[in-house]
Structure formats: C-alpha cells, structure tokens
Chain A
Amino acid sequence: QKEVEQDPGPLSVPEGAIVSLNCTYSNSAFQYFMWYRQYSRKGPELLMYTYSSGNKEDGRFTAQVDKSSKYISLFIRDSQPSDSATYLCAMSLRPHGGYQKVTFGTGTKLQVIP
C-alpha cells in the first residue's frame, strides 16, 4: 500500500463546475500538505500548501486538511479550461529543511471541457 493514495482519474467536468480532488494517506506524522499542478510535458508547480489541519483559500482554490481522517482535498470553483492538468497531492513531516522527503500521490488528471 502506498503512503499516499490518489484517484488517478481522468476527471472530466464542464467549464464552471466545482471540482473536488482528494488524497488519503497512512502516515499520521505528516504535518505539511501541498498540492502541485502539472501541465502536460512540464514539471509540477506548487499550487497551495497548508500546515496541519484546517482550510486555506486562494482565489478559486481551497485546500482542506483533516488529519483525524488522514484526508486532504483541493476544491476548484468555477473551473476553467486552463485548469486542465494533473493535480498531485504531496506531503512531508515538516515544512522546511533540506532533509525533508516530500511524498507525492499518483496525481489526478483533470479535464475541463469548454
């Protein structure tokens, strides 16, 4: 069993829809949670990060962490065709320090249809 599980999709939604992307994890010591976005043939880019439990909002994006359930989510409101990409959740034991190994989920491919 992988440390971080993520539904690979693909997930296809119409433009304007609300998208929910999720990950579950097994290591309760994870404290720092991230979402990366990867466009086709490009490297991943950090989209959002949260520390410990709670919500964080940035424009159309909201990240949620539920440490009791070992479950994290990314919500995208008013989805746009430009949001079409693979979304990877990632987590580590602490936010900074070069010794931190970042563990990634397998990524969910999202397609937003105009």
Chain B
Amino acid sequence: DTAVSQTPKYLVTQMGNDKSIKCEQNLGHDTMYWYKQDSKKFLKIMFSYNNKELIINETVPNRFSPKSPDKAHLNLHINSLELGDSAVYFCASRPGLAGPSTGELFFGEGSRLTVL
C-alpha cells in the first residue's frame, strides 16, 4: 500500500499548456504539501494545506493553483506552462497540529514535469 501516491509520474507537455498533478495519502494525516525540486536537487516548499485549509503559500506564480477537496487529497493545477516549470513536483504529508509527532514529512515518489 503506497502511503503517498502521485499521478502522473511523468508528464511531458508543450509551453502554454495547462496540466494537473494529483496526490492522495492514506496515512490519516491532516497536513499536505507541494514541494518543487529543481535540477540541482533543491527542494522548495510551494503550498501547504491543513485539513483542506491553505496555511502556507510561498511566493509562487499565480499560474499555480492548489486544491484540496478533502484532507486526504491535494491537487496542483498549472496554467500556461513555461520552460522554467520543468522540475520534479513532490507531494508530502505530515501529522497535524495536535499530538506528539516526529515532524516527519512523508513524500510521494514525485511527478517529473518536462515542458518543451
């Protein structure tokens, strides 16, 4: 059973197109994230949702729009794709605000986006 699953794993598309990446976690966590990892392996946080509420919104172009229909799902829609959007996008989840926690982030396997 995959704890954090993302689809699709690979996405190749043309500049200007719109695409979506989906994420689901079955860990019962309250908090989910989107991270972007560039070609130099730098992981940068983009968004975080806690129980469907947006709590972290880093400086990201408004072409990127996250949506959380419920606490187990977090999707990322990207409009008007640009060359610089090429990266690996990781979804992650973490236990919520209450209770003890190691603070561990559980990552999916990533969605590799290539914009041509």
A interface list, Cβ under 8 A from B: 8, 32, 34, 36, 38, 41-46, 49, 86, 88, 90, 92, 94-104, 106-107, 109
Contact = CB atoms under 8 A, between A and B. Distances in A.
B103 A32 contact: yes
Contact of A43 (B4, B48, B96): B4
B55 interface: yes
Interface in B64-98: 90, 92, 94-97
A92 B103 contact: yes
B40 A46 contact: no
Interface string B25-68: 00000110000000011111100101000011000000000000
A109 B97 contact: no
Contacts of B45: 101-103
B109 A98 contact: no
B1 interface: no
Contacts of B4: 43
Contacts of A106: 40-42
Contacts, number: 80
Bin chain B's interface residue count: 20 to 34
A12 B33 CA distance: 32
Interface of B, secondary structure class, is: loop
Given A96-B95, A98-B55, A107 B104 contact: no
B30 A98 contact: yes
A106 B42 CA distance: 4
B108 to A, nearest CB: 5
Contact of A99 (B40, B55, B100, B107): B55
A97 B104 contact: no
A98 B45 CA distance: 13
Contacts of B43: 44, 88, 104, 107
A49 B103 contact: yes
Contact of B105 (A99, A102, A107, A109): A102
Contacts of B41: 8, 38, 86, 88, 106-107, 109
A99 B30 CA distance: 11
Contact of A104 (B30, B42, B100, B102): B42
Contact of A97 (B40, B97, B109): B97
